[in-house]
């Protein structure tokens, strides 16, 4: 409103003056407005892709994530679905624990639905590695100034990608096979078929093996080497019959020989040193060909001690948290092991030493409140002062592990101690998961056993060379005692499968082994009825996991595997 008492003259002057002021203000406002419409925000704690990849160290740090995806493989979803669908591990439902929407029992019983979360998790974990390898390959090959070791980086990442594709093809069969980062997503499908994917992986691997590093030392620890490439090739050839219906036993033998004859590997005298806390110090001349480094501070992923041990095992292993009482092996599986032992008595304590070192990887019997000694194959406390006997705290009953897992689900207090617990990756005192033990993917023992198996299948009998390799493993297991060596007649497929159970227990290969044996012989190794509660599979479609429903939602081009 205009002011009442202002004279018309005064009002006009004022208005004119102020009008000029307004006219002046308008451009000022506009000028400030325009100059302040820049919307560029700085980046602080992350880095633009275009500004990275400048130095060899940056390139190394950009290659590493394709490896980091491995930390989810040897103790994650991939491990669980491969082991629990076999006869090696069961995760029974104990009271309320481990029901988990039935995901674990479905794996054991072979009645998993297409949306089982762990199967989808395995897919995601494996394809995470593939995606990271594709991305890094795309970037390093597009750099204006290519790194001097470009050829080596390519070979290494492609071989690593071949490993991930091998896992995906082994589990899911008909999978999308994408090797470029810049692909139109709407063209991605799984119509290629398992055999064609097998061929592609083999072709890629064979082309890259010659370009891979042969050094086995600190510079290649935890990395893809030529020997890792051959180990993967041996696995592919060994299972060729499963993937393509055409066996390739001689190819498998040759790939194994490339490692055995030319690689710098030898068996350690103590079986458990391969898996112990501090196994990363074995940088050369050891047995491990390809490992996933773990570290309690820097690299998490090895929760072995938590997955398997009972709630009160923190007391005899010095853990800083109470474990989860889940993964265990059954009585039937345990029959593969030679549990013959030597007992010694010192004071009120009886100690047990297994003749076959490998039998020490399972906790059995009463647990006592004294630190469990490493290696777990010797001087295990077998009987001690009853006042030091550990108890299950919820039910006040002795903490005494028994091999029989009679049902898949049981709420009884005693059932909490059913099943044998693995301490193969020896628990690290002071941790509650996130152990420092590096996890093994390929090692020399497996190569020896694969060579022996391929030899036996190719030739009907096992050659002396192969038998010698098997006996190296057996002599190491028996502390150098050759009296447990196999004779030629003992070198049978049945015995080999049992030897693989003993030697490679809980290393993630059991499903692969059982299906290969079943396909080769027709015997129901994988599809058999098992205690607890598993009936024989009605058909063979369970040999492949389903394409997870979640993946079909994300990509409707994917076609479900037969039988699902």
Partner 1 sequence: MTIYRLLAKIACVAICVLFTQVLFSQKVVTGKVNDDKGNPVQGATVTPKGSKTGTSTDAQGAFSLRVPSSATALVISSVGFTTTQVDITNLTSVSVSLTTTSTSLNDVVVTGYGTARRKDVTGAVASISSKDFTQGVVTDPLQQIQGKVAGLVITQPGGDPNQNVIIRLRGQASLTGGQSPLIVLDGVPLDDPTQLSNIPPGDIASYDVLKDASAAAIYGSRAANGVIIVNTKKGSSGTMKVEYNGFVGAEQLAKEYPLLNVPEWKQASVNLLTEGGLTTDSANKIVASYDHGGNTDWLKAITRTGFVQSHSIGISGGTGHFNYRGSVNYIYQDGIVINNNKEGIGLRFNAEQKALDDKLDIQIGIVNTNYTRHYTQYGNFDYIFTTPPTYPVYNPDGTFFAYSDFDQANPVEHLTQELNQGKENFSQLYGTVNYSILPTLKVGATGSLSHFNKQTGYYAPAFPVEGTVNVGNNYNYNTDSKKGDLHLNYNNHWGLHNFGFTGVYEYNYFTDDNFYAAGQQFLVDQNQNYALQNGNSSLNQIGSYKEEFLLISFLARATYNYNNKYYATASIRRDGSSKFGVNNRWGNFPSFDVAWAISQEEFLKNVSWLSYLKIRAGYGVTGNSEAITPYNTQFILGSVGRYFDPSAANQYPQSYAPTQNANPDLKWEERHGTNVGIDFSLFNHRLSGDFNVFSDKTKNLLYNYQVPVPPFYVPTILANVGDLTNKGLELSLNAEIVKGQHFSWNAGGQITSVQTKVTSLSGSYAGYKLSTDNIPGGYAQGRGLSTNPITVLKVGYAPYTFYLPHYEGVDQNGNQLFDSAGTKVPYNNAVYRYIDPSPKFTWGFNTTLMYDNWSLTIFLRGVVGQKVFNNTALDLDFIKRLPGNNVFKDATTNGIKDAATASDLYLENASYARLDNLTLGYTFNKVNPHIQTLKVYVTGNNLFVITGYKGLDPEIQNADTNQAYIDANYGGYGFFPRPRSYTFGVTLSFQ
Q: Where in 420-439 is the site for partner 1 (CB under 8 A)?
A: 430
Regarding 58 and contact with partner 1 (CB under 8 A), the answer is yes
Q: Which stretch binds partner 1 (CB under 8 A): 53-61, 194-202, 204-212, 270-278?
A: 53-61
Regarding 102 and contact with partner 1 (CB under 8 A), the answer is yes
Regarding 164 and contact with partner 1 (CB under 8 A), the answer is no
* Strand partners of residue 350: 345, 383
8 A C-beta contact, residue 321 and residue 475: no
8 A C-beta contact, residue 361 and residue 275: no
Regarding 345 and contact with partner 1 (CB under 8 A), the answer is no
Options 85, 86, 128, 357; binder of partner 1; rule CB under 8 A: 128
Q: Mask 273-292, x = binds partner 1 (CB under 8 A)?
A: -------x--x---------
Other Cβ atoms less than 10 A from the Cβ of 34: the count is 9
Residue 509 Cβ vs partner 1, minimum distance, rounded to whole Å = 24
Q: Which stretch binds partner 1 (CB under 8 A): 41-49, 202-210, 258-266, 358-366?
A: 41-49
Which whole-number Å values give the CA distances from 352 to 355, 374, 400, 549, in the listed order? Answer: 10, 13, 16, 49
Q: Which stretch binds partner 1 (CB under 8 A): 132-140, 195-203, 263-271, 369-377?
A: 132-140
Beta strands (DSSP E) in 367-449 are 380-383, 391-392, 397-398, 400-401, 409-410, 421-422, 439-443
Options 209, 247, 256, 315; binder of partner 1; rule CB under 8 A: 315
* Strand partners of residue 94: 97, 410
Q: Which stretch binds partner 1 (CB under 8 A): 34-42, 142-150, 254-262, 447-455?
A: 34-42
Q: Where in 515-554 is the site for partner 1 (CB under 8 A)?
A: 550-551, 553-554
Residue 459 Cβ vs partner 1, minimum distance, rounded to whole Å = 41
Regarding 313 and contact with partner 1 (CB under 8 A), the answer is no
Regarding 13 and contact with partner 1 (CB under 8 A), the answer is no
| HSE, side-chain direction, 13 A CA sphere, residue 262 | 14
The residues, any chain, with a CB within 8 Å of residue 89's CB and separated by 6 or more, are: 80, 83, 327, 328, 329, 506, 510
Pairing state between β 409-410 and 349-354: unpaired
Options 36, 144, 261, 482; binder of partner 1; rule CB under 8 A: 36
Options 5, 45, 145, 387; binder of partner 1; rule CB under 8 A: 45
Q: Where in 75-94 is the site for partner 1 (CB under 8 A)?
A: 93
Closest to partner 1 by CB, 62 vs 419, is: 62
Residue where the block lists tokens 């490992």: 291
Residue where the block lists tokens 């995470």: 128
Closest to partner 1 by CB, 295 vs 338, is: 295
Beta strands (DSSP E) in 389-443 are 391-392, 397-398, 400-401, 409-410, 421-422, 439-443
Closest to partner 1 by CB, 58 vs 537, is: 58
Other Cβ atoms less than 10 A from the Cβ of 184: the count is 6
Residue 349 Cβ vs partner 1, minimum distance, rounded to whole Å = 23
Residue 183 Cβ vs partner 1, minimum distance, rounded to whole Å = 4
CA–CA distance, 485 with 475 (Å, rounded to integer):
7
8 A C-beta contact, residue 419 and residue 329: yes
Regarding 184 and contact with partner 1 (CB under 8 A), the answer is yes
Residue 9 Cβ vs partner 1, minimum distance, rounded to whole Å = 16
Closest to partner 1 by CB, 39 vs 482, is: 39
In degrees to the nearest 10, what's the CA dihedral of 393, 108, 409, 538?
-170
Q: Where in 204-263 is the site for partner 1 (CB under 8 A)?
A: 217-219, 221-222
Options 90, 122, 130, 456; binder of partner 1; rule CB under 8 A: 130
Q: Which two tokens stand for residue 195?
A: 């055999």
Regarding 144 and contact with partner 1 (CB under 8 A), the answer is no
Q: Which two tokens stand for residue 41?
A: 């925000």
Options 103, 439, 467, 496; binder of partner 1; rule CB under 8 A: 103
Q: Considering CB under 8 A, how many residues would be counted as binding partner 1? A: 112
Regarding 400 and contact with partner 1 (CB under 8 A), the answer is no
Q: Which stretch binds partner 1 (CB under 8 A): 36-44, 193-201, 344-352, 467-475?
A: 36-44
Residue 258 Cβ vs partner 1, minimum distance, rounded to whole Å = 25
Q: Which two tokens stand for residue 2?
A: 């205009």
Regarding 479 and contact with partner 1 (CB under 8 A), the answer is no
The residues, any chain, with a CB within 8 Å of residue 211's CB and separated by 6 or more, are: 151, 152, 154, 155
Regarding 334 and contact with partner 1 (CB under 8 A), the answer is no
Burial of 475: CB neighbours in 10 Å, binned 0-12, 13-18, 19+: middle
């Amino acid at each position: 409103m205009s002011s009442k008492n202002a004279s018309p003259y005064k009002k006009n002057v004022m208005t004119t003056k102020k009008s000029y002021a307004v006219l002046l203000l308008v451009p000022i406002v506009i000028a400030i407005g325009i100059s302040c419409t820049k919307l560029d925000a700085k980046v602080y704690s992350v880095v633009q892709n275009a500004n990275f990849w400048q130095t060899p160290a940056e390139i190394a740090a950009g290659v590493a994530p394709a490896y980091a995806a491995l930390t989810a493989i040897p103790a994650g979803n991939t491990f669980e679905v491969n082991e629990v669908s076999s006869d090696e591990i069961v995760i029974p439902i104990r009271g309320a624990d481990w029901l988990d929407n039935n995901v674990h029992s479905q794996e054991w019983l072979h009645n998993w639905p297409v949306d089982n979360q762990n199967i989808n998790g395995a897919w995601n974990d494996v394809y995470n590695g593939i995606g990271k390898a594709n991305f890094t390959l795309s970037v390093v090959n597009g750099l204006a100034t290519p790194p001097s070791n470009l050829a080596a980086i390519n070979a290494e990442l492609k071989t690593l990608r071949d490993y991930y594709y091998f896992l995906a093809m082994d589990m899911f069969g008909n999978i999308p096979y994408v090797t470029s980062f810049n692909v139109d997503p709407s063209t991605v499908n799984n119509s290629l078929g398992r055999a064609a994917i097998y061929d592609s992986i083999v072709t890629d691997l064979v082309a890259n093996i010659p370009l891979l590093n042969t050094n086995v030392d600190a510079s290649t620890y935890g990395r893809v080497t030529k020997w890792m490439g051959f180990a993967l090739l041996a696995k592919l050839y060994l299972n060729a019959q499963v993937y393509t219906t055409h066996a390739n036993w001689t190819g498998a033998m040759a790939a194994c020989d490339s490692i055995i004859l030319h690689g710098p590997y030898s068996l350690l005298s103590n079986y458990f040193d391969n898996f112990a806390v501090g196994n990363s110090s074995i940088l050369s001349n050891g047995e491990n060909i390809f490992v996933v480094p773990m570290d309690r501070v820097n690299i998490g992923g090895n929760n072995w001690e938590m997955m398997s041990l009972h709630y009160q095992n923190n007391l005899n292993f010095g853990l800083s948290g109470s474990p989860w009482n889940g993964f265990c092996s059954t009585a039937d599986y345990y029959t593969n092991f030679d549990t013959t032992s030597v007992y010694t008595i010192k004071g009120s304590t009886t100690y047990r030493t297994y003749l076959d070192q490998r039998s020490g990887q399972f906790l059995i019997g009463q647990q006592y409140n004294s630190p469990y000694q490493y290696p777990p194959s010797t001087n295990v406390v077998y009987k001690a002062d009853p006042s030091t006997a550990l108890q299950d705290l919820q039910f006040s009953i002795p903490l005494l592990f028994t091999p029989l897992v009679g049902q898949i689900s049981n709420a009884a207090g005693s059932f909490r101690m059913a099943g044998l617990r693995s301490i193969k990756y020896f628990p690290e005192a002071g941790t509650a998961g996130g152990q420092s033990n590096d996890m093994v993917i390929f090692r020399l023992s497996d190569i020896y056993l694969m060579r022996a198996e391929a030899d036996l299948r190719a030739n009907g009998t096992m050659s002396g060379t192969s038998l010698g390799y098997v006996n190296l493993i057996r002599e190491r297991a028996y502390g150098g005692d050759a009296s447990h060596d196999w004779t030629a007649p003992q070198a049978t497929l049945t015995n080999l499968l049992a030897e693989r159970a003993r030697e490679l227990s809980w290393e993630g290969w059991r499903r692969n082994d059982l299906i290969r044996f079943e396909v080769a012989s027709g015997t129901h190794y994988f599809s058999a009825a098992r205690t607890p509660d598993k009936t024989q599979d009605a058909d063979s479609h369970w040999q492949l996991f389903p394409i997870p429903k979640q993946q079909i939602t994300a990509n409707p081009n994917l076609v479900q595997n037969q039988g699902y």
